[in-house]
């Protein structure tokens, strides 16, 4: 089954404790992206990747890091989480560009205390 | 000022009505325009994709882009209760970096 998986689905952590949210797709997609969703603000893109070792900033990259060492994986790293990073995070992938359908993961709900 | 402005609603219409949604934007470099639909507790799904100005129709959905006015619209004809969702406009200058509107919550009453 074609899918995008994210782990963990729910996470409660404390300020400053480094964490990684994993994202994996099994469709051999070139394009992958991370978004956060907050009430009243809609979705905001954090980082995107056009292919292995090619990443670029979205609208809200501050406080986040990403890497794309393998085509199927695109982890999101929070080196020193803060309460304003409490949010619902979505990973997505598409064949090559936004014009192709993006497949979204189930979401990761993060609470930073 | 946000790059993409979208009225969050909520919007409530009777079944069979036409739903009209719109967004305005300030970045003249945007040339790829999308509408996504998001059901509660789910990830968004792409509904419509338009390049540059013009109209695009897909079944009951019509997307319009007016680049001169920096204004895009989505119309849903013969609306159904299953159309109840949040609709997000999104735009890109390079087909990679994506900027979303805040989303409009739509309820279609049976």
Contact criterion met (CB < 8 Å) for A45 and B43 = no
Q: Which residues of B touch A38 (CB under 8 A)?
A: none
pLDDT of residue A111: 98
DSSP secondary structure of B3-55: SEEE----EEEETTPPEEEEEEE--TT--EEEEEEE-TTS--EEEEEEESSEE
Q: What is the pLDDT of residues B78-102, one digit of tens each?
A: 999 999 999 999 999 998 999 999 9
Q: Which residues of B touch A56 (CB under 8 A)?
A: 96-97
Contact criterion met (CB < 8 Å) for B96 and A101 = no
pLDDT of residue B33: 94
CA distance A67 to A47: 10
Contact criterion met (CB < 8 Å) for A58 and B98 = yes
Q: Which residues of A touch B9 (CB under 8 A)?
A: none
Do residues A37 and A86 lie in contact, with contact meaning Cβ atoms separated by under 8 Å? Answer: no
Share of chain B above pLDDT 70, in %: 100
Lowest model confidence (mean pLDDT) among A11-15, B2-6, B57-61, B71-75 = B2-6
The band of A52, judged by pLDDT with boundaries at 50, 70 and 90, is: very high
Lowest model confidence (mean pLDDT) among A19-23, B6-10, B103-107 = B6-10
Do residues B81 and B16 lie in contact, with contact meaning Cβ atoms separated by under 8 Å? Answer: no
Q: What is the pLDDT of residues A59-94, one digit of tens each?
A: 999 999 999 999 999 999 999 999 999 999 999 999
pLDDT of residue B2: 81
pLDDT at B1 over 80: no
Looking at the partner chain, which of A43, A45, A99 has a beta carbon nearest the beta carbon of B97?
A45
Lowest model confidence (mean pLDDT) among A29-33, A98-102, B51-55 = A98-102
Looking at the partner chain, which of A42, A48, A59 has a beta carbon nearest the beta carbon of B88?
A42
pLDDT of residue A98: 82
pLDDT at A41 over 90: no
A59 secondary structure, DSSP code = S
Mean pLDDT of the A90-108 span: 91
Closest CA to B48 of A39, A101, A95: A101
pLDDT at A34 over 90: yes
Sign of torsion over alpha carbons A58, A95, A67, B39: positive
pLDDT of residue B88: 95
């Amino acid at each position: 089954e074609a899918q995008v998986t994210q782990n963990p689905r729910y996470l409660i952590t404390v300020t400053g404790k480094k964490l990684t949210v994993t994202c994996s797709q099994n469709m051999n997609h070139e394009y992958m992206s991370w978004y956060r969703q907050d009430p009243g603000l809609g979705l905001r893109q954090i980082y995107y990747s056009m292919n292995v070792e090619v990443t670029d900033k979205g609208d809200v990259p501050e406080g986040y890091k990403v890497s794309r060492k393998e085509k199927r994986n695109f982890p999101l790293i929070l080196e020193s989480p803060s309460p304003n990073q409490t949010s619902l995070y979505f990973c997505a992938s598409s064949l090559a560009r936004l014009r192709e359908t993006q497949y979204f993961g189930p979401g990761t709900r993060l609470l930073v205390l | 000022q946000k790059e993409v402005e979208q009225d969050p609603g909520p919007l409530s219409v009777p079944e069979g009505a036409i739903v009209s949604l719109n967004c305005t934007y300030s970045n003249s470099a945007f040339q790829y325009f999308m509408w996504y639909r998001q059901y509660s507790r789910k990830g968004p799904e792409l509904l419509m994709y338009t390049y540059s100005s013009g109209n695009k129709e897909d079944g009951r959905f019509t997307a319009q882009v007016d680049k001169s006015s920096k204004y895009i619209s989505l119309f849903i004809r013969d609306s159904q209760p299953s159309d109840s969702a949040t609709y997000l406009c999104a735009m890109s200058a390079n087909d990679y970096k994506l900027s979303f509107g805040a989303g409009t919550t739509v309820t279609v009453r049976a």
